[in-house]
Structure 1
Amino acid sequence: MSRVLIEPADYTTCLPAVRKALELFPQDMAGKKVLIKPNVLRIAKPEEGVVTHPALLQAVVRAVEDYKPASIVVGDNPGLFNYGDNERCFEQSGLMEAAQGYYQNIGTDSVQMDFDPELLPRVGVSKAVLDADVVISLPKFKTHGLTVITGAIKNSYGILPGGLKAKLHKASKTPERFQETIVDVFRLRVPDLFIMDAVVGMEGNGPASPDLRDIGRILAADNAVAMDAVMASMMGLDPGRLRSLHKARDLGLGDFDPQGIEIIGDLVRIPDFKLPPLGGEDHMANADIQEMMRSKAGLKPRADPELCTGCGECIEHCPVSALEMGEDNIPEVDADTCITCFCCQELCPEKAMSLQ
């Protein structure tokens, strides 16, 4: 039976919660190489709720130091193309300071691994991830317009450096296939421990939504499927409606059945939690809902002229060059080229992109 800790906390009391997590899910870290991977989607201030909060990262670093590992690396590959952007994301989010000198740009050195011949035969994985004896993943409690939730499993998508993430978006073609792809990436190097920032969560059309919720919790588990199942339940979403969890269970990575998960703490459903469009309605046995999910691929990005500053980030990072600057310095999409990968929505610093 898997266990998931749900511990009351705020950003001033992260350290006791983290130490409790390490006591419940002990890791052999003495003299070992430890990698700590926060969720660093893009450049964002801590109060935006887009990235793992610096307070949690700092608490994890301090707690891990007590175990006297041989080395500590803090790193992630944000959803940008240029490796140099990694530092900017960490610095401007406050995560560089929180890393306490252990930050490393893990996007500059990768190892090729066999993947899926139908998508990409081989993918590069950050060498620092594969070299680590212990990997601690720090996901954020968030929704996601394409995968419904972005939790423990989705956080491992950041082990892929640079533009490779966008290439897999493109190769996956449909939302359903992409939900399976993130599981295939996750199993390339399954983390040993998950400590989730659920102090402030995100609802609505994440992973960069302005809609935040005060939850006041830190979650911990040594099984990602169980953690994501609990996270979904807290959102008011039946975990069985998530294709990613079905895929993970089929691969023997864990189970989302509530009867097989021991909750340490109190699992309380968040009232009126806003899920993304079709939030969780990917029910495996419902043909009508499956068709609705397929139609989601027909959504195309549109910039809100009231929010867009014409910075061009969406154009620069579109993996298929489907966006170009139009009239009034507002990006416009070529509907025939767009693959609905959601990269523009994820990376827009002004949250000006929506899918319509």
Structure 2
Amino acid sequence: MHQVMIHPASYETVRGAIDHTFDLFPQDLRDKKVVIKPNVLRGSEAAEGIVTHPAVLAAVVDKVQTMGPASIVVGDNPGLFSYGANEAAFEQTGLMAAARGTYRNIGLDAVALPFNPDFMETVNVSRAIVEADIVISLPKFKTHGLTVMTGAIKNSYGILPGAQKARLHKIAGNPSRFHDLVVEVFRLRVPDLFIVDAVVGMEGNGPASPDLREIGLILASDNAVAMDAVIATMMGLDPERLRFLQRAAEAGLGAWRMDEIGIVGNLVPLENFKLPPLGGEAILDNAAVQAMLESKIRLTPQAAPDGCTACGTCVEQCPAQALSMVDDLPQVDMAKCVICFCCQEICPEKAMVLQ
């Protein structure tokens, strides 16, 4: 039986909850490569509640540093509105300082992995995630217009750099298939530990809603399905109605039934918690959202002749081998390009632009 910890906390006292997490869910971190992945949707102020709060990240980094890892990397690939602005998003949110010098732009280096061909034959995943011995996921307790809630499973969507996320949104085509897609991405590299920032949660039309909710909790588990079932229950949702939880359980990733989950602490449903529409139609049937997704996946990386020095870094680092040097200028083969935008992020001269 998987366990989920529910521990009272404020952002000033969060370290106690983090210590208790590692007591309940021990991790052997000595001499290991550890990646800590917060939820960094986009650049925002910490008080907006859109991202994992810096106090939670700082407490986790401080704890992990005492456990003898070989290395620590803090990183994420922000969402649709922050491609190419990874550092800026971390700086604005306060997560750069909270990383204690361990931040890395994990969007600069990716590995192509086989994927479910119903969506795409391969996807690019940040190399730091693929090569980590231990991945610690730090989701935010939030609603989401497409998946209804975002938690442990959905947080892994950020292991994909660049506009792949937009392309996959488009390919999914309807809410049910997007729920399936989220589980397929999660399965690529299942994190080892989940610590959810529920000190201040988000309700209403997330994942960037102004409707914040003081909850005062840290949640933790070593199983994402159990964790998300608890989050759903706290929000007043029936976990059985969330397709991504059903799919994850069918894939053997955990159990969502509450009688199969051990609760360490007190599970109290939040009264009158505001939810988005259950099916997600508010997003995928919205013409403006569809147009935005289409604009993202039509972006093409091109080298600016007046800025490019023909150093070849983008050609060497392209995980899809879609770039080649022609007359001292990198050219992209769009038949191979997976629009991960690693070339734009890694260019030392900032000469690769998106058009």
Q: TM-score range by the shorter chain?
A: 0.7 to 0.9
Q: 1:315 to 1:258 in 2, by over 3 A?
A: closer
Aligned residue for 2:129, secondary structure, equals helix
Judge conservation of contact 1:192–1:222 (CA < 8 Å) in 2. Answer: yes
> Quick one: distance in 1 between partners of 2:238 and 2:268?
14
Aligned residue for 1:73, secondary structure, equals strand
TM-score between both structures, scaled by the size of structure 1: 0.81
- For 1:298, which of 285, 295, 298 is the aligned residue? 285
Q: 1:294 to 1:318 in 2, by over 3 A?
A: same
Cα shift at 1:294: 6.3
What pairs with 1:88-237 in structure 2 (closer than 5 Å)?
88-237=88-237
RMSD: 1.9
> Quick one: distance in 2 between partners of 1:71 and 1:295?
42
Q: Which of structures 1 and 2 has the bigger CA Rg?
A: 2
> Quick one: distance in 2 between partners of 1:136 and 1:93?
19
Matched, 1:61 2:26: no
Judge conservation of contact 2:170–2:294 (CA < 8 Å) in 1. Answer: no
Cα shift at 1:67: 0.3
Letter in 2 for 1:14: V
Corresponding residue of 1:310? none
TM-score between both structures, scaled by the size of structure 2: 0.81
Corresponding residue of 1:350? none
Cα shift at 1:298: 2.7
Corresponding residue of 2:50? 50
Aligned residue for 2:64, secondary structure, equals helix
Q: 1:33 to 1:181 in 2, by over 3 A?
A: same
Corresponding residue of 2:296? 319
Cα shift at 1:116: 1.5
Corresponding residue of 1:5? 5
Q: 1:9 to 1:316 in 2, by over 3 A?
A: same
Judge conservation of contact 1:90–1:96 (CA < 8 Å) in 2. Answer: yes
> Quick one: distance in 2 between partners of 1:39 and 1:296?
20
Cα shift at 1:119: 1.1
Cα shift at 1:155: 0.2
Q: 1:83 to 1:272 in 2, by over 3 A?
A: closer
Judge conservation of contact 1:81–1:163 (CA < 8 Å) in 2. Answer: no
Q: What percentage of residue pairs aligned between the two structures are identical?
A: 60
Corresponding residue of 2:85? 85
Judge conservation of contact 1:315–1:321 (CA < 8 Å) in 2. Answer: no
Q: 1:295 to 1:37 in 2, by over 3 A?
A: closer
Letter in 2 for 1:170: K
Gaps of 5+ in 2: 300-355
> Quick one: distance in 2 between partners of 1:91 and 1:215?
26
Cα shift at 1:253: 0.2
Letter in 1 for 2:235: M
Aligned residue for 2:296, secondary structure, equals coil
Judge conservation of contact 1:152–1:227 (CA < 8 Å) in 2. Answer: yes
Q: 1:315 to 1:169 in 2, by over 3 A?
A: closer
Corresponding residue of 2:267? 267
Corresponding residue of 2:343? none
> Quick one: distance in 2 between partners of 1:190 and 1:266?
27
Letter in 2 for 1:177: R
Q: 1:230 to 1:201 in 2, by over 3 A?
A: same
Q: 1:271 to 1:294 in 2, by over 3 A?
A: closer
Judge conservation of contact 1:232–1:238 (CA < 8 Å) in 2. Answer: yes
Judge conservation of contact 1:38–1:57 (CA < 8 Å) in 2. Answer: yes
Count of paired positions: 298
> Quick one: distance in 2 between partners of 1:126 and 1:73?
12
> Quick one: distance in 2 between partners of 1:26 and 1:166?
36
Aligned residue for 1:184, secondary structure, equals helix
Letter in 1 for 2:58: Q
Gaps of 5+ in 1: 283-292, 303-313, 323-356
> Quick one: distance in 2 between partners of 1:169 and 1:135?
25
Letter in 2 for 1:301: A
